[in-house]
Each structure stands twice: as C-alpha cells, then as structure tokens.
Amino acid sequence: MSFDPYCRLFLHADVSHSELMSHCRSLLGGFASGRRLTTPLLDVYLKESENFDEERFKVEKRFVFARYTAEVDARCTPEQLSTRYTTGSDTRYTADPDPVEPDVDENAFVDCVCQLISGLRRLGVLVVASCDFEEKVIEKTGWNWTFSSREHPPVGP
C-alpha cells in the first residue's frame, strides 16, 4: 500500500480562526493567508467546520462536531498544483485522470503533522487526526481517538 500524504484534523478551542491560524504558523512556520498555511512540506487549509455544534460536541464527545477542521496535504510543486484542485470538503479531485501526488518523505510528513498536533494540544486545543497513519499519531503524540479511547486527555500548559 502506498503512503497517502493527507490528514484531516478536527480541532476544538474557544479561539478565533485567525488566532488558531496564528498558533499553527508559530508551530510550523511558513506563510499564512486567509484559510491557508503553506510551509516547505505542508499545505494546511483551516476552516470553521460545517458540522460545528458546541452542545453535541460536549455531550456526545464526537469530534465531527468540533469547531474547526484542517485539511493537511503534502505541498505540491507549482507544476503539480496547476493540475490539482479541490471541490467540497471531503473529496480531492484532479484535472488529470491520474492523481498527482507530491514526492514526500513519509517520516518527515508524519513528524510534521504530529508536531502540529502536539503543539496545538500544549496550547489548549483539542485535536483528533483522521488519516492512514493514526497509529503513528498515537505513538508520537500520546493519543488519538479510537473506539477504546474516546476521551481526549487534558490539554494546555
């Protein structure tokens, strides 16, 4: 199975979008503009979740109701980016019938995503990752949602 350099993060914190984006930028560096953060390795698209429901989040403890989502992809070269576009919040499409995937070091990508998760948790943000490498997220950050571990550990300083 090939590595898919993609991760969706569900994030919950009582902060504005711009404050959360500022936190992400301080943790990863790069350039932020609107909803997008670009680093040498990652493209992070941060937005308020269409499913945000504070009451359901608190009662049901389901991260699908978290306040924000972030789509994290490996950064494409300008040539790759010109053939790729996104429609909707769940599906990535490409103009080319063969999807263009950037050349990326799997370990570097996973480490960078986990650095973002750990850093945000230290700042008090609840974070759950949905990706093909969730076991590595657990190993490197100490926790991720599973059926046997649904309660987010304490966050913050």
Taking the domains of the chain in order of start, what are their residue ranges? 6-141
How many Å apart are CA 89 and CA 70, to the nearest integer?
10
Q: Looking at residue 91, what is its pLDDT?
A: 42
Q: Looking at residue 150, what is its pLDDT?
A: 72
Classify residue 142 by its DSSP letter.
S
User: For the residues 36-49, what does the mean pLDDT come to?
Assistant: 92
Using DSSP's 3-state secondary structure scheme, residue 134 falls into: helix
Number of residues assigned to the chain:
157
**Token pair recorded at residue 6:** 């993609």
Query: What band does 18 get if pLDDT is binned at 50, 70 and 90?
Result: very high
- 3-state SS record for 84-102: EEEECCCEEEECCCCCCCC
| Number of other CB atoms surrounding residue 27 within 10 Å | 19
Share above pLDDT 90 across residues of the chain, in percent, rounded to a whole number: 50
**Token pair recorded at residue 23:** 């936190």
Q: Looking at residue 101, what is its pLDDT?
A: 59
**Token pair recorded at residue 81:** 């980016």
For 71-127, the pLDDT digits (tens) are: 999 886 555 554 444 444 444 444 444 444 566 788 999 999 999 999 999 999 999
Fold for 6-141, please state it: TATA-Binding Protein (3.30.310)
Q: Could you tell me which residues are beta bridge partners of residue 37? A: 32, 44
Q: What global pTM score does this model have?
A: 0.80
